[in-house]
Every structure is written in C-alpha cells, then in structure tokens.
Structure 1
Amino acid sequence: MHLEGRPAVVRYAREAIQHELDTLGLGDADDEAVRECAEVVLLIVSELVTNACRHSPGPVDLRIRWNDHVLTVEVDDRGKGVPVLVDEEDRGAGGGFGMGLIDALADGWGVKPQGEGKTVYVRIAFP
C-alpha cells in the first residue's frame, strides 16, 4: 500500500495491516499463539512506519508477504540512513527503543538499498 502523503499514516498502516491479517485468518484465529503473533506484527508495523516518519522524508510504501507461516513486513522510505540497534544505556527520552524492540520480537530483520532510499524488512514466524 502507498503511504506517502496520508494523514495519520501510522494509524492508517496499522488498520490496513489489521485488515490483511484478518483476511489471512491470523488476526482473529482460534489459536491464541497465532493471535499474539498478529499483535506483534501490528506493533512492528507501527515502529517501522514511525521510524520512517521520524528519520526520513517519510514512508512511501508498506507491503506484507505471507509464505509458509512466515509474514514479512517491508517499509520503503527515501531516507539515506539505516536503522541501528541502540545500546540500552544510550536509550532515553529522545528514543532509541524501536529497533531494539523489533530485534527482540522479530525472527529476523534487515535493510536493502532501493532507489533513492531503502527497504526495511522484518520477518515474523507464525506457529
């Protein structure tokens, strides 16, 4: 989905991904572990889109892919910098918690250069 220029972009992204998770039967699954993974996806989407808003000219596109019980979230932005893990002692009022949270919750994440910016991707394995 294209995010650029949308008001309240983080809320829009979460709502759109919630709809997709429900369509896949993940957000409202009978299995509590699956529902918890879906909640993790929403938190990660919020963090990725927020980071793109704070550290770049803003998010451009958001994608999810579902393949063999693994959901991949991708956010494209035009920022030149790449996300980094901030040491715990350096986190504070100015931030630094987002990628640590993603690193702790995700099964993998990374960054790929793309055009004028980058794609940040996160993988979450579902039971």
Structure 2
Amino acid sequence: MDPRGSTDGTRRLTLAGTTNVVSRSRDFTREALIAWCWLPDGESAGSDPEAAEDVLLLVSEVVANACLHGRGPRALVLDCSPERLRVEVTDGNPAPPVRIPDRGPDERAQPGGHGLLILERLARGWGSESGADGKSVWFEVPCPPGVCAPAG
C-alpha cells in the first residue's frame, strides 16, 4: 500500500499492477476512516459506523467497476474535509460509466449492473472526468457530525 498524504485529509493508494484491488481498497479506506474518526478505534468518542460502512460499500463498487469496465483501477484517492469525503478512482478507459436501464421484476435479482444505482442512492453526488488515457470516477458523501475529519 502507498498511503501518501496520510498526515492530512488526503490519502492515495496506487493500485496499478497490484492484486486483490477491491480488498486492498477497502482496507486502505477503513484505515483512513479510523484515523478520521468515522470508525471507532477504542479511543475515539465521535464515530459513525453506518456512514463508514456506506463508504466502504461505495469504494468496493467503484473499484470493482474499474476492474470490470475500466481496464483496471490505477489509483484510489480519499480527500476528507470537515464537510465531505470525496473518493476518486482512476482507470484506463476514457469511456464514462453507463447505467444499465431499469430491469423488470424478473430480472432485478440478476447479479451485476447495480453499482451505479447504489452510488446514486448512497452518495451525495458522483460523476466522472475523462482524459486521454483514462478517467476518474468520483463520489462525495457528507462528513458525519462529530467526527474528527482533518481540517483541509
């Protein structure tokens, strides 16, 4: 893992060329959320485990989508301020994410195709920014009150 920027509110994990990227990303994010008091570590008074679990789910979805549709994730960036947490995942495919159209009742139980729906429901906002050699997919969630997020 590459926890650059770990002394403030920005952390970066390089994923290109690594294995187990979804679990690495979740572990990296969990460590940051503990440091920022979103999750209890035995010493923190303020925490919001439900909000943290939503973030971990969203990180898993975005990284998995980069694996399946983005030619593999390159990096995960967490940027936490007292107001919000922004998560960005870069990959090697410049094409923007595409939401699968709503499915009929018989098709809803089928695996796959739910990642962007989960992102839309749990994140305050999300989007993607394409570049010449790939894209960045990002989402933001509000910082729960009472946690000790870094002061930008």
TM-score by structure 1 length? Answer: 0.90
Kindly report which structure 2 residues correspond to 1:60-75, keeping only aligned pairs within 5 A, or say none.
60-75=74-89
- Cα-to-partner distance string for 1:6-50 (whole Å, 9 max, x where unaligned): 111100110011001101111226556x22111111000000000
- Cα-to-partner distance string for 1:64-93 (whole Å, 9 max, x where unaligned): 101123000000001132112222217653
| 2:119 is the alignment partner of 1:98 | no
- 1:22 is matched with 34
- Structure 2 counterpart of 1:27, one-letter code: L
Which secondary structure does the structure 2 equivalent of 1:86 belong to?
coil
Within the candidate set 5, 14, 23, 1:11 is matched to: 23
Runs of 4+ in 1 over 3 A off after TM superposition: 29-32, 90-94
Q: Distance in 2 between matches of 1:71 and 1:94?
A: 28
- Structure 2 counterpart of 1:76, one-letter code: T
Kindly report which structure 2 residues correspond to 1:33-112, keeping only aligned pairs within 5 A, or say none.
34-89=48-103, 93=110, 95-112=112-129
- Structure 2 unaligned regions, length at least 5: 1-12, 145-152
- Structure 2 counterpart of 1:119, one-letter code: S
Query: Hey, which of these two has a bigger chunk of helix by percent?
Result: 1
Which secondary structure does the structure 1 equivalent of 2:141 belong to?
strand
Q: Distance in 1 between matches of 2:131 and 2:86?
A: 17
- Structure 1 unaligned regions, length at least 5: none
| Stretch of structure 1 that moved more, 114-123 or 51-60 | 114-123
- Structure 2 counterpart of 1:11, one-letter code: S
| 2:140 is the alignment partner of 1:123 | yes
Q: Which has more radius of gyration?
A: 2
Which secondary structure does the structure 2 equivalent of 1:71 belong to?
strand
Q: How many residues align?
A: 126
Query: What RMSD, in angstroms, separates the aligned Cα atoms of the two structures?
Result: 1.8
Q: Distance in 2 between matches of 1:121 and 1:98?
A: 13
